[in-house]
Chain A
Amino acid sequence: MPKYLIETHGLTRRFGKQLAVDDVSLVVPEAGVYGFLGPNGAGKTTAIRMLLGLCRPNAGEVHLFGLPLAANRLSLLRRVGALVESPSLYPHLTGRENLEVTRRVLGAQRELIDTALRSTKLTQDANRRVREYSLGMRQRLGLALALLTKPELLILDEPTNGLDPAGIHEMRDMIRSLPAEFGVTVFLSSHLLSEVEQIASHIGIIHEGRLLFQGTLSELQADQQVQLTLGVNEADQAMDTLTAAGWSVQRRADGLLSVSAKTSDEAVRINKLLVEQGIEVFHLSLVRASLEDIFLTLTGERRAA
Chain B
Amino acid sequence: MSLLLVLHAELLKLKRTLAFRVIFVAPLLVAVLQFFVLLKTRQFSTDFKLWETVSRATLSIWAIFMMPLLITLETALINGIEHSDKHWKHIFALPVRRHMVYIAKIIVVQALIATSTLILCLLSILVGLVSMRLRPELANAGPVPFGWISKQALLVWLAAWLIIVIHTWISIRWSSFTVALGAGIGGTFFALFAASASLGKYYPWLLPLNVFTDERLVAALVLGAVGGVVAAVAGCVELARRDVA
Chain A interface (Cβ within 8 Å of chain B)? 49, 52-56, 73-78, 80, 82, 84-93, 97, 100-102, 104-107, 145
Contact = CB atoms under 8 A, between A and B. Distances in A.
A104 B15 contact: no
Nearest to A129: B16
Contact of A82 (B12, B93, B243): B93
A98 B8 CA distance: 13
B91 to A, nearest CB: 8
Interface string B1-16: 1100110110011011
B86 interface: yes
Nearest 3 Cβ contacts at the A-B interface: A88-B90, A55-B243, A104-B9
A88 B86 contact: yes
A199 B5 CA distance: 37
Contacts of A76: 95
B12 A100 contact: yes
B93 A77 contact: yes
Contacts of B85: 86-91
Contact of B93 (A54, A75, A87, A93): A54
B93 A105 contact: no
Contact of B90 (A75, A84, A104): A84
A54 B243 CA distance: 6
B243 A53 contact: no
Interface string B196-213: 000000000000000000
Contact of A54 (B17, B81, B92): B92
Nearest to B244: A54
Given A93-B15, A105-B6, A107-B5, A49 B95 contact: no
A124 to B, nearest CB: 21
Given A54-B243, A54-B244, A90-B13, A106 B89 contact: no
Contacts of A75: 95
A74 B86 CA distance: 21
B217 to A, nearest CB: 39
Nearest to A148: B94
A73 B240 CA distance: 12
Contacts of B94: 77, 102, 105-106
Most chain A CB inside 10 Å of its own CB: which residue of B5, B12, B90? B90
5 contacts: A49-B89, A54-B244, A90-B81, A105-B6, A107-B5
B96 interface: yes
Nearest to B6: A105
Contacts of B244: 49, 54-55
Contacts of B12: 93, 97, 100-101, 104
A84 B88 CA distance: 11
B9 A105 contact: yes
Contacts of B89: 49, 52, 54, 84-85, 88
A74 B96 CA distance: 6
Contact of B13 (A53, A87, A88, A101): A101
A78 B94 CA distance: 7
A92 B9 contact: no
Interface in B1-37: 1-2, 5-6, 8-9, 12-13, 15-17
A53 B95 CA distance: 10
B244 to A, nearest CB: 4
A102 B9 CA distance: 7
A270 to B, nearest CB: 54
A137 B9 CA distance: 23
Given A82-B93, A92-B16, 8 more contacts: A53-B92, A88-B86, A88-B89, A90-B81, A93-B12, A102-B94, A105-B9, A105-B96
B42 to A, nearest CB: 47
B173 interface: no
A294 B97 CA distance: 43
A58 to B, nearest CB: 11
B90 A53 contact: no
A80 B95 CA distance: 9
B56 interface: no
Contacts of B9: 101-102, 104-105
Contacts of B2: 107
Contacts of A53: 92-93
Contacts of A80: 93
